[in-house]
Each structure stands twice: as C-alpha cells, then as structure tokens.
Structure 1
C-alpha cells in the first residue's frame, strides 16, 4: 500500500518538521512528490524546511507554525490542511521535547513535556483521523515513540512516561481503525539512537559513531510501512535489533517473574541480566 500513499500528489502532514526526524521525513516525502503541511514551533527553521522540501521535489509545501500541545492550534492545522488540499493521506505526529525530569522534581517541565509528547499526539489523532476516515482514502497515521517508552530506563521519568503513553495510544488507535474497517493504518515509529536537534543541541557537534542520522530512521520507516509493520523498531550503529529485543523481553519479565522494578539496573540482578544477554 505504501506506493499508493507515498506518491506524487498525495498529502502528508508532519509535526516537529523543523528539525531532526521530522525534517528528514519532509525531505524524503518531498522527493516522492508529496504535498506537505509542515508544523513546528520553530518558525524560521520550519520555513527553511518548507523551502528545502520544494527544492527537493514537493509540488507544494506549506509551513504552519503550531504548538501541538494547544488543541485549538492543532484543529486549525487540520482545517488548513483539508481546506488547502482537500484531504490528508499521511499524518506523522512526530513533535517531541526531551527535558522532563525525575518523578519527584520539575512539575512545570513534566506538564510542558506531556503537553507536547503525549497531548500533541492525541490532539493530532483526534483533529485529523476522523476527517481522514470520513474521506475514505487509504492512509497512514505514524506516531513517533521511543525505546525509552518500552524499557523505561532510569533518568528521565517524564520522557519515558510520555513515550510509553504514545505506545498505548497508537496500539489502541490501530485496533480501533481495524475494527472499524477503516482504510487507514496506524504505525508506531520507534527510533534508535538518532542524531537530532533533541540529542545534539550544539549545531557544531559531530554525529557519534553509534548513532544514526535522522534520514536513516526515515528510510527504515518507509521500508517498514511498505512491509505493513506496526512496530517500526529501528536499530542503530551501536544496538542491533536482537539486543533491543532481549532488553524489551527482560523488561516485561519484571512483571511476569515479579522481579524488582527496573531490575535491569538493580545491583542484585546485574549478573543475571548479563548472563541473559550473553545467552
């Protein structure tokens, strides 16, 4: 189905499009000839992405500055997209921020992060998907999650919680679309270690050897969509898929075997986890 959706003249909406994975997606979809509606809060960089998308082959790319945590702003984004192009074939709820904090700290950061990372996805789904269903066209809804929403490592509880919630929202959306007989499909993009604006605040920084470029994530995403994958689990240059699988299996094993929470980082389980990985 990918060739029917990601093709000349079809319409894609991407949030968080000014930088990183969102920008890379905009440029790749532009090369496919898609019309683009690009959203972000970073106005100047967003406009630059729209210009670059036109140069890359998009017949039309518009920049719509949008705070995805603001429901009214996302509704306005949807209205702009449907009024301009008559429909949307691909929605990528990608906008995210990383600064949250631990469970016992930074309540303001928690609220801001949840507004973007979780409510930005919910707002996007609720503003766009009913209209996409009504149009009756095949299409994709892609929500950007994170491995940290599955293995939930200690250190940034707010970010982990937001991405765990995105996983659940996307799974539920996939089920609802399937039971409705909709021509839309939902997909959870799970990037690996990716060199983006979130992970590299210094514009002069060099990509670490272990990280992927954002465009590698997008290419992997496109291949996953073509295969019909729901979970688009990206490796990187440091972590192969098999290691990701074992880490995720260990995480759910904490529940099954009633181990301590986050036992992978518990001193009493260091040796057991190491043996498990080596098996």
Structure 2
C-alpha cells in the first residue's frame, strides 16, 4: 500500500486483526501489510503446519502475532477463534473472512458432499465470523472493518463450477446485508467490504499444477494492496482487475449478466450460442 494512500480508520498501530485463510495467498499478504502498520494479528487456517510457518514468518519481522488452527465451517471453532483473539488482544478492529475452498463442478451430477463442504466453508464460514465477531465490533463505538472475500464467479456465474458460484453469490448477498445492518446501528463505526479478486496466483492455482505465476495473474500482494486502497476510499465492492482483464471488461460482463433479467434473455446468455454475437458487440461497445 503506497505511503500516501488514505488508510481506513480501523487500521491503526496497536489495534487487532483476525484473518482466516491466513496461512498463504491473499490472507497472508494482507497480514503482512497490517503487520507493517503495527497491528496485532490473529491468524487462522485449517492447515496447522502452514499456519505456524506464517506465524513464524511474521513474528520474525517483530509483529505481535498468534495463530489459531481453525476450520471455519464449524461454528464452535470460529467461536473459539473469537475467544482466543479477545483473550489475547481485548478487541478486534479488523476481521477478514478469507478462508475458502474450491467447489466441484456441476449441479445435476454434483457430489452432495462437495456441495455441502463448499457452502459450509465459503458461505457459512463467513456467516459464523460475521455473527460471532460483528456484534461486539459494532457495539464498541470504535472504527472497525469486516472484509469478506468473494469472487467474480459469484456475480457473473461462469458455467463449470456451480457449487463455488452459488457459495460466492450467496456470500455477496450476505455481505450486502451486513453493510446495510451496520450502517443502521446508531453509533456504529464498522464498515463492510466485499473483496472481489481477479485471476490471482495463490494456493488454488498451485493445486492445479501451475507452479509459476501465469502472466495474466496478479500476485496476492497486488490484491492486498488494492484491497487496502479500496477500503481507504470507502469502497464496498473492491473489484480487482488483473493483467488480462481490465476494469472496463469486468464492468461490461457484470452489466451483461444483470441484463439477462431485464432483457429476458436465457440464463447465462453470455455462454449461449444464440447470443454470442450480441455479447461480442456489447463487449466491443457497439450498439448495432
């Protein structure tokens, strides 16, 4: 984050941050930036070994950091995470519900267990965090922020991974509801933000046997910087580009997806052969 960028008021030296999915990728990159500010950190992840390595990495920089192995799909585990953070730091100024998993393909022939696990982690993991941390943060009267890591797939819903799309689409709606509720609590200074990454080189990418960052992808560090800059501007939707997809392209894809309803086109018409030419004209900015 550039030194001259405006910073969200919750991001202050000495205040505490809780980040799930913090052992690698975007979560770890955000933790590194908050450590540089001087915030105290509580890191959570299912991978205990990777989590301890991340804790050691940050502690070596002088950061005050604890690590709590956590399966966010289990509400009692998130409650234990909250209790441990409050025991260590007394308050939480910043919560990032970043833990997530990939889905598993189609709907009709999809594995019910994969669907359940995907929703339990990507949606309910964040719901647990919002419900267990949010009330005390809102009641504190101090600046705070809750960030949920969403996905463009939860907005435009490209075919191929319905479980993941559904989980992130529901998370978008839940985060919008959170923002509305927070701004209607008298005296509340906590804001909500939906991080919408583009193509990012993370552990998900590596699990697909891609061990070198693709040219089209952003790094996790770029996403972390973009998030903090967006929060400083007061953005709710932090829509990240990447090295292949521009902001303008994202905006047109999102508008086309919303237009399916208004224009009464077939569902997911962007991928429907009868609408391919119209979509291409739309992306090119043509009205003919």
Q: Is TM (by shorter chain) over 0.5? A: yes
Matching residue of 1:51: 56
Aligned length: 278
**Distance in 2 separating the partners of 1:100 and 1:89:** 34
Corresponding position of 2:270 = 264
Question: What is the TM-score with the length of structure 1 in the denominator?
Answer: 0.97
RCO (CA 8 Å, sep 6+): is it higher in 1 or 2?
A: 2
Task: State which of 221, 230, 238 in structure 1 corresponds to 2:236.
Answer: 230
Indicate if the aligned counterparts of 2:18 and 2:95 stay in contact, CA closer than 8 A. Answer: yes
Q: 1:196 aligns with which of 199, 202, 205?
A: 202
TM-score normalised by L of structure 2: 0.94
Q: Does 1:72 align with 2:76?
A: yes
Q: How far did 1:202 drift?
A: 6.2
1:179 aligns with: 184
What is the 5 A alignment of 1:98-109? 98-104=102-108, 105-109=110-114
What per-residue deviation string (whole Å, max 9, x for no partner) do you get for residues 33-64 of structure 1?
11000001000100111111122342x11110
Q: Does the Cα contact within 8 Å between 1:32 and 1:57 map onto a contact in 2?
A: no
Moved more, 86-95 or 6-15: 6-15
User: How large is the Cα RMSD of the aligned pairs?
Assistant: 1.3
Instruction: For residue 27 of structure 1, report the CA deviation from its aligned partner.
Output: 1.1
- SS of aligned partner of 2:195: strand
| Residue in structure 2 matched with residue 83 of structure 1 by the alignment | 87
Runs of 4+ with >6 A deviation: none
- Structure 2, unaligned stretches of length 5 or more? 1-5
Give the Å deviation of 1:13: 0.2
Give the corresponding residue for 2:3.
Answer: none
Contact (CA 8 Å) 1:30, 1:54: kept in 2 or not?
Answer: no
Q: Where does the alignment leave 5 or more consecutive residues of structure 1 unmatched?
A: none
Whole-angstrom distance in 2 between the partners of 1:57 and 1:202: 34
Alpha-carbon contact 1:27-1:56 (below 8 Å) kept? no
